[in-house]
Amino acid sequence: MKPGKVANSTTINPYSRSVSIIGVGCTPFMYTMDNPETNGLTEGELFGYAALKAMEDAGVSPKEVDFYFHGQASPLNGSDYITPNMQVANWFGMKGKGSIHHSEACCTGYLALEQAVNAVASGKYNCVLSGCVEFADGIAVKGMPAYVHEKFTMDKLLETTAWIYDRAYTRQMLSGPVICFDDPAVTYQRQYGLTEEEMDSAMIGMALASRKNASKNPLAVNQVPYEEMAKQMGMDVQTFMRSQFNPKMGHMLRVSGMELKCDGAAAVIVASTEWAVKHNLPHTPIEVLGIGSAACEGNTPHLEIRGTEEAIRQVYDLTDVKPEEIDLLYANDFIISSQLIAAEASGYMPRGEGWKYFVEGRTAYDGDKPINTNGGRTSFGHAHAASGLADIYEAVLQMRGLAGERQVKKLPKTTLLRGFGGGQNLAAIILRTDEALRKDDQAAVVTDSPIKLETAVKKYYEGLEAGKIYGRKCKACGHIEWPPHYACNECGCDEMEWVEMSGKGTIETIILPAILNAKPENADLMPYALTSVTMDGSSQNAIVQGVTKENAEELWALMPVPVKAKIIERGQPGSTYKTVIFELDQEELAKKKAQQ
């Protein structure tokens, strides 16, 4: 029962110049709604934090980053956006810089690296940011500000998962969207003559090693070892893993072998290796030797196995790297059998024998064949698009020797990462350290970072409820970010402090509403104009009440016209929020008229 090859193969060519990862950043993977400290975090805050941490790690400022890529698997469902890349730049000081959004479901984070590497290898840019974010546990509540979420329940997950698959045939043929959960394990078991019990033992071994890795990872969503859970139930761990506390969800797959969907973000900074060396950056550059890829539509039999084989073949052919050179392996294992598929396809383990390595417990961080040292999707967590970059983040830490308690025994020189997502996209990435460029990575670790993951949007709206308008003032140049963001978009500094805005501003333009731009839900605010307001040096588009067709010309002659802030309530019964509009400041306007 051999799966066969993909119908069409590709030969990839070398990059035009060497490209390296110079910085990485990652949020904790978490259930944001379950913790009062994180409940209310938004896409911009998660992405912004990861981006700023990656820049800090790289030793570069937002001004030095030429372009950014944004990845999100399901932006409309999770975040109520169709152009999500446009909504995050202000958070990390890159307002106005060019960007592209992409989505390849759960493979997004791996192909996020390919997007960035290609952009730099082409010579168009020297330094690029690539980041991914996902809310896979708490999703957007339509019509409410971004800090308001609701739980992403399993029935909603299953409904939206169908969006991954072809509408013409695959959804209607009923098998494609669900066969992926068990097909790789059953195919492997039958191909190599294992009993179901042996295959079950191998997959349990994968889960145990993954949780052991996650137990040493402060960013992991679940850090509780299975041994501890078993002890609480009065069982040994092997009995526990085969009990009703870890039931089979499918033909082979147990609960312990399925993703823990959660919220999170991760980012990388990629630069030409020559540029990185020239700028004497703090960390060892991790070169991206090559990236292979494949895509098989969701009704393709054994698509994960076939696509994995093709992507790995491409990158091996390109780089001349041999399987025995791979020191560390990552596999996007939202279905845990992916670890075995990737390990044997890459030659990291011998064909037909890899299952024994898992049974013997050799794949944890302290074993001789470490896999997914961060804990993988079943323990570190799965923030769909962000997971691939979280694996790259972990790989870079390991290759620098900075992974702490979960540092593998042998400092990895060469790492292979196998991405998989959407039931269809696959990628194979090879990273390598050039020892001639090795830096003292431990000495370069930032220990007093000003970058904090905080619920700034929520604080802003809570301020409005209390009658206050908040901004954040840059400690370097004094510019005020209003509404508040993590970084200054004037100078790029990430050291900011909260300030209360004056509520006083000016306008310099007037757009009167008409059929095209007069929303019916704003009829109660008439008369008003659409305009740009400058308050305490920060400008935003806003509504200004009191402007009419009759007084507009007079106001044009008085520009800039003084206005003052007004906090109002919007939303629907039971789901309301406060927001800011403006009105003509009649007192200041009278003074100005008197002076003319």
For residue 388, give the 3-state DSSP assignment. Answer: helix
Average model confidence (pLDDT) across the chain:
95
Residue 507: strand pairing partners = 533, 561
Alpha-carbon span 275 to 278, nearest angstrom = 5
Helix (H) or strand (E) holding 267, with range, is strand 263-272
Question: pLDDT, tens digit, for every residue of 288-308?
Answer: 999 999 998 888 899 999 999
pLDDT at position 317 is: 97
Alpha-carbon span 260 to 235, nearest angstrom = 24
- Provide the greatest CA pair distance for the chain: 94
What are the φ and ψ backbone dihedral angles of 313, each rounded to 5 degrees? -60, -45
Helix boundaries (H) for 162-256: 170-173, 176-179, 183-192, 196-214, 226-232, 237-241
Q: Is the pLDDT assigned to residue 502 strictly greater than 70?
A: yes
* Residues in contact with 385: Cβ distance below 8 Å, sequence separation at least 6, in sequence order: 71, 72, 73, 103, 105, 106, 108, 109, 112, 132, 133, 134
Q: Is the pLDDT assigned to residue 556 strictly greater than 60?
A: yes
pLDDT at position 162 is: 84
Mean pLDDT of 151-180: 86
Per-residue tokens: 108: 């997004």
Q: Is the pLDDT assigned to residue 422 strictly greater than 90?
A: no
pLDDT at position 160 is: 84
Rounded to 10°, the helix 303-319/338-345 angle is 40
Mean pLDDT of 245-269: 96
Alpha-carbon span 351 to 349, nearest angstrom = 7
Write the secondary structure of 533-558 as one string of H (helix), E (strand) and C (coil). Answer: EEECCEEEEEEEECCCCCCHHHHHHC
pLDDT band (50, 70, 90) for residue 553: very high
Q: Is the pLDDT assigned to residue 1 strictly greater than 70?
A: no
pLDDT band (50, 70, 90) for residue 362: very high
Question: pLDDT, tens digit, for every residue of 210-234?
Answer: 999 999 999 999 999 999 999 999 9
CATH superfamily of 19-165+258-442: Thiolase/Chalcone synthase (3.40.47.10)
pLDDT at position 528 is: 96
Write b or e for each residue in 208-237: b if 16 or more Cβ atoms lie within 10 A of its Cβ, otherwise e.
bbbbbbbbbbebbbbbebbeebbeeeeeeb
Alpha-carbon span 291 to 174, nearest angstrom = 33
Q: Edge-to-edge strand order for the sheet containing 328-331?
A: 99-102, 67-71, 127-135, 263-272, 19-26, 286-295, 425-433, 414-421, 328-331
Question: pLDDT, tens digit, for every residue of 315-347?
Answer: 999 999 999 999 999 999 999 999 999 999 999
Per-residue tokens: 188: 């492997």
pLDDT at position 141 is: 93
User: Please, where in the chain does CATH 3.40.47.10 lie?
Assistant: 19-165+258-442
pLDDT band (50, 70, 90) for residue 12: very high
pLDDT at position 156 is: 85
Alpha-carbon span 76 to 55, nearest angstrom = 28
* Residues in contact with 62: Cβ distance below 8 Å, sequence separation at least 6, in sequence order: 55, 92, 93, 94, 97, 487, 492
The conformation of residue 17, written as its DSSP 8-state character, comes to S
Mean pLDDT of 548-566: 96
Q: Is the pLDDT assigned to residue 423 strictly greater than 70?
A: no
Write the secondary structure of 470-503 as one string of H (helix), E (strand) and C (coil). Answer: EEEEECCCCCEECCCCCCCCCCCCCCEEEEECCC
In degrees, rounded to 5, the angle at the alpha carbon of residue 526 between the alpha carbons of residues 523 and 530 is 100
Mean pLDDT of 508-512: 95
pLDDT at position 135 is: 96
Per-residue tokens: 466: 């209390």
Is the previous residue joined to 412 through a cis bond, with omega within 30 degrees of 0?
no
pLDDT at position 153 is: 87
Mean pLDDT of 390-402: 98
The residue type found at 249 is: M
pTM of the model: 0.96
Q: Is the pLDDT assigned to residue 443 strictly greater than 90?
A: yes
